[in-house]
Structure 1
Amino acid sequence: MAGKKALIVVDMQNDFCPPHGSLAVSGGRDLVSLVNELLNSSYFDTKVTTQDWHPANHVSFASNHPPPNNKPFESFIDVRNLVGNKPEETMKQNLWPVHCQADSDGARLVDGLEVDKVDISIRKGMDHRVEMYSAFADSFGNLAAGEGGVTEDLAHSLKSRGVTDVFVVGLAGDYCVKYTAIDAVKAGFAATLLEDVQRCVNPSTWEDVKKELQTAKVQLGSMADLPI
């Protein structure tokens, strides 16, 4: 029996979209019509949306750290893997403006997105101690639901529905979309990132991002490749 397909729409939220988003990605709002076309397609058996849903004290917020090393987009801090109970593991965390704070207007999905077509809604990044770009795992690779502050174990939910192939779109291509696609492969799925249905924080890095995706066995595609 052929495996089923899932669409994962990553972080199409107000704070990631112009004109008023605190971490607005150029062209982000322009994706709404393309995403809706995908959400309305019978090609996908399961449709997922994700949202960053951060507490006010989240580790990635530059304003939660003392100067001078607290400049959004520029500063990095060292973070320990406290969620996974492995404090000896550390990583560099880049700092961002306050964004997608839980229950704020900025955290809401953008107007016009056809959320009535969605089967699974995931909120992530709810643990203040760790970043969670991916919908599957936090930045240290902690995968189970609850680790890194995620509302649902997405890999388990998709596999229970017979999904074998995932298609990833949304914001931002060089962060949450990229890591969701990479972690989908790690979780055992065949993953395709649709290049024309993503936008980057730093578009100039996209060629390097593509190399990273290809190394991770993520396929690159476009809407034109799909029978929709």
Structure 2
Amino acid sequence: MSARALIVVDVQNDFCEGGTLAVDGGAGVAAAINDFVDSHEYDAVAATRDFHIDPGTHFSEDPDYVDTWPAHCVVGTDGAEFHPAFDATVAGSAVFSKGAYSAAYSGFEGFAEDGTTLEQWLRAHDITDVDVIGIATDHCVKATALDSVRAGFGTTVILPLTAGVAPATIEAAIAQMQAAGVQLTGRDENAPSHSVGISDVGIH
């Protein structure tokens, strides 16, 4: 018997418009998630967040935006908080924090307050399949989806409920995810690669 979970990746102030690592469309994704959750049935919902304390070389005053980045999602700052348009209570108490002392792109590197990993939590809920949404398509969404496949979960990324950094890296991420066996839904093949917008997503 299959059971499906939704993983909401890093819908935080610093990754939305006005944040230190703003992604175009981030606030729109944040605003769309609650309606999506209300209109789709999941057996479990989890949210991940960057929650940095001292991630070492992940932060740089001269970032290359590949391996090093401006300071973001620092514990205790407004930037680390979930975007106000996203009601994190849809995830209940299942919030997984990652990257306290490392880069940690994947939600599978995160821990709940009691130390449970995302994979452990999914298995405790007998989850077989996951849908992944959030920010950014070409970084933490991709890393989470790839780790989900490696862990043996059937994995789908719902592209209209993601926001990415740049067309080239979004396309590269899509190709990498497809090659790994991630399913992708909601992509308009006639639209520019950077125009991953919010739309009705007919799944389940």
Scaled by the length of structure 2, the TM-score of the pair is: 0.85
Greater strand fraction, Structure 1 or Structure 2: 1
Distance 1:42 1:192 in 2: 15
Residue 36 of structure 2 is matched in structure 1 by: 38
Distance 2:42 2:76 in 1: 29
Q: Which ranges in structure 2 are unaligned for 5 or more consecutive residues? A: 187-199
Match of 1:190 among 151, 154, 157: 154
Greater helix fraction, Structure 1 or Structure 2: 2
Distance 1:125 1:96 in 2: 13
Q: Which ranges in structure 1 are unaligned for 5 or more consecutive residues? A: 64-70, 77-93, 139-144
Match of 1:134 among 98, 106, 128: 106
Q: Percent identity?
A: 35
Amino acid aligned to 1:180: T
Measured against aligned partners, the alpha-carbon deviations of 1:59-114 in whole angstroms (never above 9, x if no partner) come to 30013xxxxxxx2235x6xxxxxxxxxxxxxxxxx110000001211000000212
CA, structure 1 residues 177+195, in 2 after alignment: closer, same or farther (shift >3 Å)? Answer: same
Q: Once the 2 structures are TM-superposed, how far is the Cα of residue 191 of structure 1 from its aligned partner?
A: 0.4
CA-atom RMSD in angstroms: 2.1
Name the SS for the 2:27 alignment partner. Answer: helix
Given the alignment of the two structures, is residue 108 of structure 1 paired with residue 81 of structure 2, yes or no? yes
Residue 8 of structure 1 is matched in structure 2 by: 7
After superposition, where does 1:83-98 map in structure 2 within 5 Å?
Answer: 94-98=67-71
8 A contact 1:134–1:183 mirrored in 2: yes
Residue 225 of structure 1 is matched in structure 2 by: 202
Amino acid aligned to 2:22: A
Decide which structure has the larger Cα Rg and report it.
1
Name the SS for the 1:195 alignment partner. Answer: strand
Distance 2:16 2:119 in 1: 27
Scaled by the length of structure 1, the TM-score of the pair is: 0.77
8 A contact 2:55–2:99 mirrored in 1: no
Work out the number of aligned pairs and report it. Answer: 190
CA, structure 1 residues 151+25, in 2 after alignment: closer, same or farther (shift >3 Å)? Answer: farther
Distance 2:96 2:146 in 1: 17
